[in-house]
């Protein structure tokens, strides 16, 4: 599996968790699978940008080996720089 595929897999878990469990924890209706798919489709470019930047940064820092086991907090940090998830999971 490529770095990109590994990171994307973690990013998709984060997005799904935020739009379901985190929304429910915050008293909001969890997104259904269709809504999650729509969100991913609408934000695909931003998700790809986050992944590309993460790979580039880790390679530049000579920490490429860490990309073989991308940790949730690392991916989450990059993802949130590009994709606005928080506005969908917090009560207004």
- Asked if residues 85 and 19 have their Cβ atoms less than 8 Å apart, the reply is yes
SS3 3: helix
Predicted local confidence at residue 22, as pLDDT: 95
Per-residue H/E/C for 15-84: HHHHHHHHHHHCCCCCCCHHHHHHHHHHCHHHHHHHHHHHHHHHHHCCCHHHHHCCCHHHHHHHHHHHCC
> Which DSSP helix (H) or strand (E) runs through 91?
none
pLDDT digits (tens, 9 = 90+) for 10-44: 999 999 999 999 999 999 999 999 999 999 999 99
Q: Tell me the whole-structure pTM to 2 decimals.
A: 0.90
Rounded CA separation 36/40 (Å): 6
Predicted local confidence at residue 92, as pLDDT: 60
pLDDT at 61 over 90: no
The domain locations on the chain are 3-89
């Amino acid at each position: 599996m490529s770095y990109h595929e590994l990171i994307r897999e973690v990013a998709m878990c984060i997005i799904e968790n935020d739009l379901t469990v985190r929304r429910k924890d915050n008293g909001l209706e969890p997104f259904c699978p269709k809504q999650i798919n729509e969100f991913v489709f609408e934000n695909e470019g931003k998700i790809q940008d986050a992944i590309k930047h993460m790979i580039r940064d880790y390679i530049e820092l000579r920490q490429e080996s860490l990309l073989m086991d991308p940790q949730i907090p690392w991916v989450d940090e990059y993802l949130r720089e590009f994709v606005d998830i928080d506005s969908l999971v917090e009560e207004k």
